[in-house]
Amino acid sequence: MADVCNSNFREWFPELIKVIDSAAFFAIDLEFLGLPSSARDDLVPTLFDESEQRYKKIVQSVRRYPPCQLGIAVFTERDDGASYEVESFAIPLFKRLPHKQVFSYSLSAVSFLANNNFDFNKFIMEGVTYSNGRQTEDMRKEILSGGIDYDVFEDGLEHRLQILKINFQRAAQNAIRMSQHTVHRSPSARSYQTGLQLPHPILIELVRSGEFIDTDTVDQTMHPPWDRPLSPLEKAVIEYVFTNDHRHLEFSISHDGTLLYVAELPVLTLLHYSEEEWVEEKLEKLLQEISGVSEIVKRMLARRVPIVGHNSFLDLVYLYECFVDDLPDSYEDWKAATRKEMPTVFDTKIIACLLKNQLSENGVMDHSLKTLGAFFESASCGQILPFSYPSISEGPCSQYIFGVGEHFHNAAFDARVTGSIFIKMLYLYAYTKSAGHGDFSRLWQLRKLIFACRNDFANRVPIPLIDYLHCYLPGADPHGHRPDVLRVRKRRKWPWFGLLNGRTENIVDVIVDQIIGMEKFTLADMIPLRGELKREMGAFRIDVKRSDEHEGIALVATNTPKTFARVARYLAAHKWIRPMDERTSEKASWEELLMGSEEMKRRRKGQRRRRKTTGDHLSVCITEEINDDRLGTIALLTAGVTSSLFIVGTMMPVLSRLVSLNSRRAQHQFHRLREVSYPVHDKGPNIVSVREALKDIKSGSKIFVGGSASSPTPLLVGLHVEAERRDLRDISLHHIHLHGPSPWSAEGSSGGVRSNALFLGGGQNKDVNEGRVDFVPIFLTDVAKMFYRKRIPLDAAFVTVSPPDERGFCSLGTSVDCVRSAVTMAPSLIGVMTKNMPRTHGESLVHSSHFDALVKDDSFQIYERKMGQMGDAEKQIGKLIANNLVDDGSTMQMGVGDVPDATWAALSNHKDLGIHTEMISDGVVELINNNVITNRLKTTMPGKVVTSFAYGTRMLYDFLDNNPLFHFAGVEWTNDPRVIALQRQMIAINSFVEIDITGQICSDSIGRRLLSGFGGQVDFIYGSSISDDGLGKPIMAAPSTNKKSGESKIVSQLKPGAGVVTSRAHVHYVVTEYGIANLWGRNVRQRAFDLIRIAHPNHRERLEKETFERLGCMPSND
C-alpha cells in the first residue's frame, strides 16, 4: 500500500497517472468525519424516507462532514485475465480552500476512526487538498479578477507575499546597483514595480534557516518570510503572482521550497510562449495544486472503466461532490449526472445479496466487507469455488497488505479487498448462473465475465433502510418488499377496559370518534412511544412518526417481516396504543397483521424460486472459436431448447454518454476568424468570372485548395494562367488528394505556383518524386489544427460548393474534412459553384455572403472514382474480415480501394452496423438500403453515418444529396483518436504497401518513391486500439503480393527509403487472402511466424531464411 500525502503528492502524481492509464477497473473507498445518522434529528435517515428525501438528507450530511481519506485500488489485468496486479493508494484528504459551510465532525465517527488507527495528525498536516470542477472554476475567476485574498490558502500567506515582494525589489535593485553603480533606494511594498531588467539571475531566501548559503547572488540582509519549507500550493501561488506582475522574468522555487530563483526569461521560452501564455501556464499550475486529488479522480473517470465499491452509495455521492461538481438538487438529476461521469458502477454488496444462498451455505451470514474479505481469502473458499480463480499480486508501488493484521477502515485496504472479492464473486456468479455447465477449466478475461453478469447487477447501489431494492442509476429504483407501515391509534381509557371484547370496544370507539373525534397524538405522546418501542425491540430497527394525514394516527415502520410481526404482537396487547387495519381503520389483531407479513414473505420466496428456476435453465457457456485470430464469443445456450444457440460478441459495458456534436467539438476550441454558417449582414453573393475572382491574389499568397472529388479545377487552371500573365511568384497551394490537371507543376512551368501536398493523389505522384511538388507528412486529424493554430497562415481558400438555397446557404458537399477549418481561417474565400455538387448535412453549410467571389460553372463535374474489378484475393480478404472480425452492431471505418469494396460486399448478412469514418464510397449505399447499416447502436451520433468526405461514383453523390442519414464533420473531430475510442466495437480497416516481419507498416511509398501520405490510417488504427469498450479491432489488410510485379508485400525488411506510417506497436490484425495474423502482444519471433503463415506460399521459404538472417533465430509460434 502506498501512502500518498501532501508532501509527496507531486512526486507520486506521474506514477498514479501511469497506473491509472493501464487499469482494468478501479475499486474505491472513502472514510468520513461523520455520517447522516450523526446529523440533527430532521436529517437522520428513517424507514419512512422516499429516495428523494433520503438523497436530500445525505446531501446535507456530505456538505457538513468532509471526507478524511480516499482509498484507490487500481487493478490491471495480465495475461488475458490469468492474473491481476493491484496498486493500492491511501490519500488523506484535507481541503485547503475556504469553506462556505462549517467544518464539522461527529464524535462517534472520530471515535470510530481513532479505534481503527486513523492518523489525525497526518490528516491535518499531510492531507491533500481537493476541489470539484465548479469550485476550481470559481477560484480561477476570483484569481483573474485580482480580488483574491491569498490567506484563503494558508493563514498569513498574503502578508508573507508582501514581504517577499519587498525582498525581491531590494534584491533586484542591489543587482542593478552593483552592475551599473546606481544609487540604492530603500524599497517598500509600493515600490514593487514591473519592468525590472535584471543584469544576472538572483536567488532570494524564503526560509529562515540561520545557515549561510554559499552564493554571491543571495542577499543575506533580507528577512525571509517563512520559518518552514513551502508547501506545493504556496510555491504555485508565488510563481503565479510574481510571473503575473513581471511577465518578462522567470520565477521558480527550489525543490526543497527554500529558495526563489529569478532570471530573465530564456530565449527558447519566449519563442514558444507569449507573455499571456506564460502567465496562463503558471495559473494552470496553481489551479492544479488547488484541484489536488481531483486531478487523479478526473483521470480515473476519463478512463470510463468500471468503478467498484462496497455499500458505496455514500462514496459515490462524496465522489461527485468533492471531485466532480456540486451535487444536483434532485435525486434523479444526481443519478443522471453520476451515470454520465461513471458509466459502469459495481457494488460488491449487491453481488453478495444475489449470492446469498451460496454464501450462507458456507457460513457467510452477513455481507460486510470484513466478513466477505475474510471468507474469500480463507482456505474454505475452495468449497464454494470449485474452480481456480486469478492470482492477485501487489504492484511495485504497494506492499502486500493481507496477513499483516487487521486494517479494515483504512480506505486503501478496504478498496483493495473490495476489488479482490469483486473478481472472485464475478467467477462465482457466472458459475452459479451457468448451473455448473460453463467451461471454467481455465481463467477468463474480465470483459467476458462482466458481459455474462452485468445485466444482473451493474449500476445498482444499495441504499440502506429504504423501501427500494437499490439505487438503479440508469432508471427508476425498483420497489422493495418491506412490510407495510403499521397504523396505530390511542386507546381510550374506559373504566371497563379489559371487560369488553375487542369488537365491542371498537364499536364504542367508532361512536365516540364520530361525536368528539379521534384522540390526537401529541409530541408528549410520540417521545415516550418511540423510546418504549426502541427499548422493547432492542436491535430490531423501527421508526415512529405522527401521520401527516391525521393527527390521531401514528405510523410505525419496520424493515423486515420478523420485526413487523414482533412489533404487531407487542402493540396488539398494549394498554394505550392499538394497531389499525390500513383499509378500514378498524382494530386489527397481531395475527391478522402477521398473516399479511407472511403472505409477503411467501410472495418474495416465490419470486426467488422463479429466478432460481430461470437460472437453472440458462447456461452461460464461454467458448472460443477454433480460429485463433478471432476474439472469443459468449454463447447463451438455453437448456431444453438445444437448437437455439445465440452468439453474442464479447463487450465491455456500453458507454451511456451520448455526446452531442457541440459538446464534442468543445474539445477543439480554436479562435476562428469567422463562423461561415452565419450570414454577413447586408452582403449578398458576388458572382463573377474566374479572372475577376482571382484579381486580388498576390505574389507570396498562401492558398488552401479543397481536394478529392471537390477539387476546384476552374480556379486552379485560372490561377496558373494569371500567374503566368501577371508574373506572380511564390504562391503556395496547400491541399490533400488533388484531382484534375495541375499545369503549374508540369515540366517547363514558370514555378510561380507550387503545391504543398498534405496527402498525395490524382496525378501529382510523379511531380512530387521529381521535385516539382512538396510533400508534408502529417496525420489527417492534425491538418485542421494546423490551420486553426496558424501554423500555415492562409491568405485565401479555393473551394467547390453547391448553389445557394433560398436562404443563401451553400454546401461544401462531398468534402468537409479540413475544408471547413480552412474557410473559417482564410481572410479571402473564393468558390466554384456548380449544380453537380450534392448538398450534404452536418457541418457543410457556408453562407454565400462569406464568399469574396463565386464563379458559377454548372458544366463543371465534380470528380468520380473509377471503380476497378475486385480480384479473387480481395474477395477472400473481404470474406475473412467479415466472417471473423466484424460482429453485428460494430462501428466501421474503411478507406477507398478494392479491399474495402470487397469487405463492404461481404457484410451483406450482418446487422445493425454503424459508420464513423473519414471517408465513404459506393459500398455503403447498398448496405444502407438493405438495413445492414442502421447506425442504431452507435454511442455517438446514433442513426447517422458520420464521415468527413466522400469519393465515389455519381450514384453515391446522388444518394448523398439532401440525405439526412449522413453527417459530414471536420477531421479534427472525426479523426480524433479520443472520439474514435468512444465508438462501439470500433473496426478500422486500412491497406498497406509493405509490412516487415516485425509489423512495421509502410503505406505511403514504395522505397523512396512516394505514393500517398499518412491520411487517417494512424488516427483510426490507434483510436480503435484504445477503444473504451475494449472491443476495437485495428485491421491492416492487403493482398499478399503486388498485382503487377508479383513481389511479396510481407518482407523481411522494408525497402530502403520506405517510410513507416503505422508503427509495429500499433499493429494488431493483419489480413491477406491466406489468413489472419493477430500481432498484438506477440514478440518479434512470433510475429514473423504469424506473418509468414499468411504470406504467399511462393515466398514463405525465402522469408524464413531472411528472417533467420535478420533475427538470428527461426520464426516460431511458441
C-alpha cell belonging to residue 936: 442504431
Kind and range of the H or E run holding 833: strand 828-833
Kind and range of the H or E run holding 1010: strand 1009-1010
d(CA 196, CA 965): 62
C-alpha cell belonging to residue 267: 530565449
C-alpha cell belonging to residue 805: 438555397
Kind and range of the H or E run holding 115: helix 107-115
Counting Cα atoms < 13 Å in the Cβ hemisphere of 524 gives 1
Kind and range of the H or E run holding 293: helix 293-303
Distant-in-sequence contacts of 671-675, Cβ < 8 A, 24+ apart: 671/788, 672/788, 672/824, 672/825, 673/824, 673/825, 673/826, 673/827, 674/824, 674/850, 675/824
String of DSSP letters for 882-910: HHHT--TT-EEEE-SSHHHHHHHHHTTT-
Can you list the alpha helix ranges (DSSP code H) found in 146-186?
Answer: 157-180
Residues serving a catalytic function are: 918
d(CA 658, CA 1094): 40
* Bridge pairing between strands 1001-1002 and 994-996: antiparallel
Which residues neighbour 779 within 8 Å (Cβ) at sequence distance 6 or greater? 975, 1014, 1016, 1018, 1019
Whose cell is 501556464? That residue is: 281
Can you list the alpha helix ranges (DSSP code H) found in 634-779?
Answer: 661-665, 690-693, 713-726, 765-769
d(CA 23, CA 132): 23
Helix, strand, coil shares of the chain, percent, nearest 5, are: 40, 20, 45
d(CA 787, CA 218): 47
C-alpha cell belonging to residue 126: 499531510
DSSP code at position 292:
B
Residues in the chain: 1118
d(CA 539, CA 557): 14
C-alpha cell belonging to residue 269: 521560452
C-alpha cell belonging to residue 443: 481463467
d(CA 1039, CA 1099): 13
C-alpha cell belonging to residue 582: 390500513
Report which of 947, 613, 668 is spatially closest to residue 787, judged by C-alpha positions.
668
Largest separation between any pair of C-alpha atoms in the chain: 126
d(CA 688, CA 34): 76
d(CA 401, CA 388): 22
DSSP code at position 1064:
T
Which residues neighbour 682 within 8 Å (Cβ) at sequence distance 6 or greater? none
Say if residues 1053 and 1109 touch (Cβ distance below 8 Å).
Answer: no
Say if residues 27 and 75 touch (Cβ distance below 8 Å).
Answer: yes
Task: Answer positive or negative: Cα dihedral of 945, 948, 950, 951.
Answer: negative
Task: Answer positive or negative: Cα dihedral of 766, 772, 778, 783.
Answer: negative
Say if residues 1064 and 1098 touch (Cβ distance below 8 Å).
Answer: no
Can you list the alpha helix ranges (DSSP code H) found in 538-588?
Answer: 561-572
**b/e 20-52 (16+ beta carbons within 10 angstroms → b):** beebbbbbbbbbbbbbbebbeeebebbbbbebe
